[in-house]
Amino acid sequence: MDNNKNLLITTTYKNNFTLLELFYKFYKHVWNPSNFLFIVGNTDEDKSKNINIINHSLHIDLQVLYNINLGEFPTVNDGILYNDKNIYVYIYDTQLNYPTNFAWDRTRDFLLEGLHKGLENIGHPIFKHNYYINVDNDDLLYTNNAEYTLQNNLNKFHTLEYIPKDTFTIDNQMKFISCSYYYQHKSRNDTIIDKQHTLCRWILYNESDGNCHHKCEEIFGKEHYKNCEEFDINDIKQCCFAFGCPSLEALINEKHWQQTMISDGKMSMSSDVTQDKIKEDFYKYYCYDCLTDDEKQNIPILTTDFFVNIMNT
């Protein structure tokens, strides 16, 4: 793939770097992008802690490029853009907790629009590319032919959800179930066999400030999810590997919201929930043993060593 401003991969972090190295190596291997942009929310007085984590994980040496003020916004302050090689990191100061999960959605939209359009307006269009993948750091969009996928706008991704263990390890027995957010469905007592295509991923490669959508077949219709209906877990050509919960440890220490605890459409803040309750939900809704025999038999489950190979590249 031509690396001259062809593809930009963008994602976000805030005190949740468990998947950082995997994310970088996966997208480098599968998509070979021209550049990466990591947008990082800083909740400490000093930004150096985040810089050190990223430098260590990716074996780089980030240097200050620009101080960038994106304008007034309640959850974004004092942004600095760093760079090394084809990796750009924008770190901004923000609160540890937001009042609702919807506040994060608005923050992300502001950041994406400001970084892309703001830099163009001041004559530094360093993030202007032909294609864009703006995605959550726990969504790994896979294709067996990135150039063909972009050129033909193959932008629907059937989603396989990682089944977590107590501790996140990349090994040859990683399991993924063919039902995105299965733990949310189980917490609502939904039949997850009927929910396999409700939250598959959908992206617009030409939108610099848009994010990967979690769209359901009820909104777009099954004809738009033909790739989901034809998905073959034994012959995967395109899918999203979703790590919504990497581990029990990450659920306790890194997740700002608890996705199995939803009331009136709002998730419970992790800071408002006891560790005992989080552990209870993990073993009730997330782990492999919580799946029923019927679910294990009737929903495709992939066991793979693919990510071991990725980490060794």
**What is the pLDDT at residue 218?**
52
**What is the pLDDT at residue 220?**
54
Q: Is 274 helix (H, G, I), strand (E, B) or coil?
A: coil
Structure token digits, residue 82 = 């760093």
Mean local confidence (pLDDT), 60-68: 94
Task: Give 123's pLDDT tier (boundaries 50, 70, 90).
Answer: low
Cβ(129)–Cβ(34) below 8 Å: yes
Query: What pTM, to 2 d.p., does this model score?
Result: 0.93
User: What would the pLDDT profile of 246-270 be if each residue is shown by its tens digit?
Assistant: 999 999 999 887 888 776 666 777 7
Q: How far apart are CA 170 and CA 181, in angstroms?
A: 20
**What is the pLDDT at residue 126?**
81
Which amino acid does the sequence have at 54? I
| Domain layout of the chain by residue ranges | 35-128, 139-311
Mean local confidence (pLDDT), 36-44: 96
- Beta pairing, strands 266-269 & 301-304: unpaired
Is the pLDDT at 209 greater than 90? The verdict is no
If one compares 221 and 19, the residue with the highest pLDDT of the two is 19
**What is the pLDDT at residue 2?**
45
Cβ(14)–Cβ(94) below 8 Å: yes
Own/partner pairs, 90-93, CB within 8 angstroms, 24+ separation: 90/37, 90/38, 90/39, 90/40, 90/115, 91/40, 91/41, 91/42, 91/47, 91/50, 91/51, 92/39, 92/40, 92/41, 92/42, 93/41, 93/42, 93/43, 93/47
